[in-house]
Amino acid sequence: MIPIKDTVQSRGVPAATWTIILLNGLVFFYELSLPPDQLGMLLTELGMVPARLGSDPNAYWTLLTCMFLHGGWTHVVGNMWALYLFGDNVEDRMGSARFLLFYLLCGLIASLTHYAAAPSSPVPTVGASGAIAGVLGAYFVLFPTARVITLVPVFLIPFLFEIPAVVYLGFWFVSQLLSGTLSLVNPHSYQGVAWWAHVGGFAAGIVLLPVFKLSRRQYRRYYPDEYRPW
């Protein structure tokens, strides 16, 4: 299922969301400019390597840097598209500064969750999907009755469906949890995707939301014509 659009209109300019997308894009184009050997060194040096965290305290900064690296076009475009679709509405409910801190914290927790699930893994972990999973978790709570217009190929024929956000994101979370559980049973069959980072990020988004969400009074001060209950 490929999300195309959601039905919640953004109230303001999502400055933090666009800034994160821009930074990820600039870093990715820098990656493309590197020869393969230098790119490999960059991903190893700035990606989060679980096995290195346990022995090198200086490696903990990679919990942050890994969020801005990606492994290819599909990886970066998929992540940034999800952030574009869901980030603006969550940023509305937090304000830009709070949203940025929320995003980074969710990414940190996602990386630590992956580390807890595979502490001896020598494979560099890169990507913004753990942090974006936190955004999805917040959206799941804030906008359960929203609709996600989704492209679903049926026998290679594309169909568009409006799926309630609570169903779409709930199904996504369950699929990540199931895949993560199976990866613990049979690690060799599920290498290459940090499933538990997605699970940890999504859960972090739900838990951290009350701390970062603007109160009704604050929200109405930002958007005085907004009177819908939430």
Question: Which amino acid, residue 154?
Answer: V
Place of tokens 């929320």: 102
How far out from the chain centre does Cα 170 lie?
A: 15
Q: Say what the pLDDT of residue 227 is.
A: 46
Q: Say what the pLDDT of residue 189 is.
A: 53
Place of tokens 């560099």: 124
* Structural domain that includes position 170: 2-222
Domain tally, the chain: 1
Compute the CA torsion angle 61, 67, 72, 74 (nearest 10 deg). Answer: 170
Q: Is residue 227 part of a domain?
A: no
Q: Say what the pLDDT of residue 100 is.
A: 97
Each residue of 193-209: b (16+ CB within 10 Å) or e? ebbbbbbbbbbbbbebb
Q: Say what the pLDDT of residue 43 is.
A: 93
Q: Say what the pLDDT of residue 98 is.
A: 96
Strand 147-154, strand 2-6: pairing: antiparallel
Q: Is residue 99 part of a domain?
A: yes
Written as six digits, the tokens of 6 are: 């959601």
Q: Is residue 91 part of a domain?
A: yes
Q: Is residue 147 part of a domain?
A: yes
Each residue of 64-87: b (16+ CB within 10 Å) or e? eebbbbbbeeebbebbbebbebbb
Task: Tally DSSP H helices, then E strands, for the chain.
Answer: 10, 3
Q: Say what the pLDDT of residue 57 is.
A: 81
Q: Is residue 174 part of a domain?
A: yes
Q: Is residue 57 part of a domain?
A: yes
Q: Is residue 229 part of a domain?
A: no
pTM equals: 0.90
Question: Given CA atoms 24, 25, 27, 28 in this order, what sign does their dihedral have?
Answer: positive
Backbone angles phi, psi at 161, to 5 degrees: -130, 145
CATH number at residue 54: 1.20.1540.10
Written as six digits, the tokens of 216 are: 């009704």
Question: For the chain, which residues score pLDDT lower than 50?
Answer: 227-230
> How far is it between the farthest Cα atoms of the chain?
55
Is 6:148 a contact under the CB 8 Å cutoff? yes
Q: What angle do CA 184, 115, 204 make, to 5 degrees?
A: 95
Q: Is residue 208 part of a domain?
A: yes
Q: Say what the pLDDT of residue 219 is.
A: 63
